[in-house]
Amino acid sequence: MSTPMAPAPRQALAEAAPPPAQNGDRMAALGRALARETQAVHELREALVRQRDGVARDSIPTVHGSCDDIGRLLVTLDSSRRHRTALLAELVPGPDPTLDALASAMGTSFPAELSEARVALRREAEAAAREAAVNRVVLQRTVEAGEAFLQALFAGAGGQDPVYRLGEKRDDDGSGHLLDRKA
């Protein structure tokens, strides 16, 4: 009894893929999805730069606005990624619908436009990751500087501890002052 051999990637793609006209439409939709995702990553990178600029200028509205933009863009990117995965699942058979899997399955017939879009998305994502790393350091240093300022501010206000513990005696002469507004 012989076991059937798994089809080669290109053969599996041909067997599981819809007719070529539908594939062309799906490839075009994938190209548009990659372009939208790249634009969203670019906007995320710009929001990260605005956030850092707001911290440098001590502009609370700029920092808050950039945080709102970053949150909105992260939701958009999550949605874009799910959409891309759904499109790839229609084109790539198997459990791993990625652009790399599609490129491997298509071999030399992988469209140049998709290849360029994939490279642009990766390049933009790497730039955004660098900006996020810089912001992480800047924000951490800003928090540390704020904490050091507060410690220095309140360190001089110490004086005596206003709470007396059992067995402690007051250092003054014991003559307290009682103020009564009614008297």
Predicted confidence at residue 84, as pLDDT, reads: 93
Question: Is 163 part of any domain?
Answer: no
Say if 177 falls within a structural domain.
no
| Cα–Cα dist 23/7, whole Å | 20
Residue 174 lies in a domain: no
Q: Is the residue at 101 inside a domain?
A: yes
Task: Note whether residue 171 is domain-resident.
Answer: no
The DSSP code for 172 is S
Between 157 and 79, whose confidence is greater? 79
Is 32 within a domain? yes
Distance, CA of 99 to CA of 118 (rounded, Å): 8
CA dist 165 and 115 (Å) reads 74
Q: 136 lies in a domain? A: yes
Q: What is the pLDDT of residue 176?
A: 56
**Which of the four pLDDT bands, split at 50, 70 and 90, describes residue 118?**
very high
Query: How many domains are there within the chain?
Result: 1
Structural domain range at position 127:
9-155
Do the domain assignments include residue 127?
yes
Angstrom distances, CA of residue 63 to CA of 20, 47, 76, 133, 144: 49, 9, 20, 16, 17
pTM over 0.75: no
Q: What is the pLDDT of residues 125-174, one digit of tens each?
A: 999 999 999 999 998 998 888 888 888 888 765 555 555 566 666 555 55
